[in-house]
Structure 1
Amino acid sequence: MTKDLYARHRSVLPDWLALYYEEPLEITHGEGRHVWDSAGNKYLDFFGGILTTMTAHALPEVTKAVSEQAGRIIHSSTLYLNRPMVELAERIARLSSIPDARVFFTTSGTEANDTALLLATAHRRSNTILAMRNSYHGRSFSSVGITGNRGWSPTSLSPLQTLYVHGGVRTRGPYAHLDDRDFIDACVADLVDLLGHTRPPAALIAEPVQGVGGFTSPPDGLYAAFREVLHERGILWIADEVQTGWGRTGEHFWGWQAHGRSGPPDIVTFAKGIGNGMSVGGVIARAEIMNCLDANSISTFGGTQVTMAAGLANLNHLLEHDLQGNARRVGGLLIERLRAVAAQVPHVREVRGRGLMIGIELTRPGTDEAAPEAASTVLEEARAGGLLVGKGGGHRTSVLRIAPPMSLTVAEAEEGAAILERALRSI
């Protein structure tokens, strides 16, 4: 049955629509941190639909909220008052730390980043954008144009002029040998030099932890140091929190807070986890930035009643059950367990991350050369053992990405680590 579905998939969908596994998987249902396939096999889910199932599969509060709202009205567009939209916007504005915040809802992280770019370029009257090397910001024409990861950027055409900045990857590149303080100083000096050779940019957009890039991040404080340089010149800071928001990193509610001594970003984008599988994205910005557009705009599907009801229920559950604290505690145990395993596997170059956002980078033993075939082997072996993980990385997709629902238990973390240990030893 799965082979037939795969054949139908290939005959009607684009060739570039990637599927995991030599024999692709059809997931039919889930509960908690587990999912089942069409053959009845059960898996521990350590990827959550690409960091989207944030709290749990089939979370009762979310399914109930969706069902009850769907029974009343699903959609009316932004041309009418929408109580769930207003209520969720109020909650997010308060949580953002951005003064006089305004919130605009979209259907995805790509669309959220598109909107942030529109706001920044209109507000600053510049189409130049600073972006990080190894970054990923979506699949639209403008967001592809600022993506610093060759594997996810299919065209060099863009409505924007993009300049790429050092710093998103701590352990590779020309400054990798420096200690954290010197690394930050070198990146800041490079940024200052770059700004001296170009017309004033509109904004810097950066993921606090690079998701598709393999869960890489700079030393804490880099973006605060960047912010000081940018602020002096009136350049905006956009924090892409599509993968890092809502407490997933454990130590902070937003990823930018690891770099927060200079205050919150001018614009924050979010998506993925807030909807727990429903299509919710959005932008938070100061009122003067959000309101700078001088033409009409609406969103047909951004902020529908049913997706807002899901987001509210999901956010309430996350806060009431302190899932940020759980991500810190259980994630800390998991990363230490994986580092102990990795010390015995020559292919593992690095285990990195924070909270429940962990990357395992694989290389050919004794070198820094990426080993994508090893990553594929581990992906297959983990599935055979009953565990689903992701892949990524700017160096030929050789990083295993681990990001389970934030309600992961200690027992489930240990179970997943044991499966990963067997899979890594199979390389």
Structure 2
Amino acid sequence: MSNPSDPSELIHRHRTVTPSWLATYYAQPIELTHGEGRHVWDSQGNRYLDFFGGILTTMTAHAQPDVAKAVAEQAGRILHNSTLYLSTPMVELAEQIAELSGIPDAKVFFTTSGTEANDAALLLATSFRRSNQVLAMRNSYHGRSFSTIGVTGNSAWSPTSLSALQTLYVHGGIRTRGPFAHLSDAGFIAACAADLEDLLGQVGGNVAALIAEPIQGVGGFTSGPDGLFATFKRVLDRHGILWISDEVQTGWGRTGDHFWGWQAHADAGPPDVLTFAKGIGNGLSMGGVVARAEVMDCLGANSISTFGGSPITTAGALANLRYLLDQDLQGNARRVGAELIGALREAGLPVVREVRGRGLMIGVELVGRDEQPSPAAATSVLEHARELGLLIGKGGLSGNVLRIAPPLSLTAGEAAEGAGLLIEALRRAQADSTDWASADAPTAGAPADGADGASTGQAPHDPSLERDPA
């Protein structure tokens, strides 16, 4: 009989029956068995402060009572019916999301994931515009389906160049790198807009849409200046091109300043299409598309969704959304996120090139002494953070950016605790690195002795960690 507390057998079984490209974190992957609030536990009884939320998905809290109650009550009535039948929780959730979206005359279509939501948005845009030409941002990520890979501008997450879409990539996703990095914010926006205009002037035929993340998630929580997409939208509107705002990671108040990421670019009005997923379900399989009615209704063939908008997922998501709004978790993300960002910036570690983001969507970019990306440092920090009891994520084109995205109910005390653990993990990773060993800057907080007096060293390198699960 297997020992449920020993993960080695489960690791072997996992690797035997799942694809080799299915990445897992850590040299010795862990199984999370339960959670409460902002904490989770693994199969060996270790407790962790969760600063990644199952990839920005546990939006309010683990085992949030209102969500658990709504799911349990709905499960006791009916689990499934498909969109062929009416559903009160689906309609109620759609009504609330349509109102919150800011899109006039909005209609909502539910899916089971962010990938499927973006896939549906691309279907709507290309059908509405009668064109397969799509604009996307460099360094972007929009999902793992065939169509969404075709608009992903991040080579680490684009396994094929084959696509039914003709995709053209524009500048603007990364403020601090690239040919326009030296410009002021206004100059950066003007240069990106001029690049977009020039690109459109050379494209034959109609372009269907620009799909863009207000803050790039898998790309390492990068973004252009506020107002960039407002300027883009004015260009797009002159050409009749739709704007799809991919809010899979930026939605529901995570950025603190705004409920949706697009609202940082609001002076040109809302997007034509908005996609969402992750946090709204708090772990339930939920995604969707919001669009102007004329765009949503443009399909000329029959369509349904077997699982999108199911009674159990919409009941749970509705309870989750109501809790988020009642508790002003957007405001909490703004306040606590600012404290967390401030603490990380004040640490002043040489291995950290930049701490960026807003609200509780924070990226920490790591480099070597030559200022080049250091994925090895990110892998080391990930391991040390886990040893210290903190779960974080990783991303960026080079895999050198730590992604910090805890549940939006994170307390100030938990933020301070997590910041302290992360700073210690960064110090340990910096001390481990031969690249930083001779650095002039002090490496205070080098590996501390454990309770048994043994030094905690860097975990063995695992190549799978160079690929960050989205």
TM-score, normalising length from structure 2? 0.90
Match in the other structure for 1:287: 293
Match in the other structure for 1:297: 303
Match in the other structure for 1:405: 407
2 CA distance for matches of 1:97 and 1:400? Answer: 31
2 CA distance for matches of 1:317 and 1:188? Answer: 39
Per-residue deviation, 1:366 = 4.0
Q: How is 1:111-126 mapped onto 2 (pairs within 5 angstroms)?
A: 111-126=116-131
Per-residue deviation, 1:133 = 0.2
Equivalent residues of 1:45, 1:389 under 8 A apart: yes
Paired letter, 2:306: T
Q: 1:347 aligns with which of 342, 348, 351?
A: 351
2 CA distance for matches of 1:426 and 1:41? Answer: 20
1:99-126 CA distance string (max 9 Å, x none): 1100000000000000000000000000
Larger radius of gyration: 2
Match in the other structure for 2:373: 370
Per-residue deviation, 1:175 = 0.3
2 CA distance for matches of 1:391 and 1:349? Answer: 15
Alignment partner of 1:6 is 2:11: yes
Paired letter, 1:387: L
State the secondary structure of the residue aligned to 1:103.
strand
State the secondary structure of the residue aligned to 2:136.
strand
2 CA distance for matches of 1:222 and 1:100? Answer: 25
1:300-347 CA distance string (max 9 Å, x none): 000000000001000000000000000000000000000011x1x111
Unpaired segments of 5 or more residues in structure 1? none
Alignment partner of 1:416 is 2:422: no
1:337-377 CA distance string (max 9 Å, x none): 00011x1x11111000000000000011242x110000000
Match in the other structure for 2:434: none
Match in the other structure for 1:244: 250
Q: How is 1:148-227 mapped onto 2 (pairs within 5 angstroms)?
A: 148-199=153-204, 200-227=206-233
Match in the other structure for 1:357: 361
Comparing 298-307 with 193-202, greater Cα deviation is found at 193-202
Give runs of ≥4 in structure 1 deviating > 4 Å: none
Paired letter, 2:387: A
Match in the other structure for 2:463: none
Per-residue deviation, 1:150 = 0.4
Alignment partner of 1:381 is 2:384: yes
2 CA distance for matches of 1:89 and 1:261? Answer: 25
2 CA distance for matches of 1:322 and 1:307? Answer: 22
Alignment partner of 1:316 is 2:322: yes
1:240-291 CA distance string (max 9 Å, x none): 0000000000000000000010100000000000000000000000000000
Paired letter, 1:401: R
State the secondary structure of the residue aligned to 1:285.
strand
2 CA distance for matches of 1:232 and 1:278? Answer: 39
How many residues matched?
Answer: 423
Equivalent residues of 1:55, 1:318 under 8 A apart: yes
Match in the other structure for 2:396: 393
Equivalent residues of 1:208, 1:244 under 8 A apart: yes
Paired letter, 1:161: Q
Match in the other structure for 1:145: 150
Alignment partner of 1:78 is 2:83: yes
2 CA distance for matches of 1:167 and 1:99? Answer: 27
State the secondary structure of the residue aligned to 2:76.
helix
Match in the other structure for 1:93: 98
2 CA distance for matches of 1:57 and 1:295? Answer: 40
Unpaired segments of 5 or more residues in structure 2? 1-5, 430-470
Equivalent residues of 1:346, 1:366 under 8 A apart: no
Taking only the aligned residue pairs, the percentage that are identical comes to: 71
1:155-208 CA distance string (max 9 Å, x none): 000010000000010001000010100000000000000000102210000000
2 CA distance for matches of 1:186 and 1:269? Answer: 27
2 CA distance for matches of 1:261 and 1:366? Answer: 40
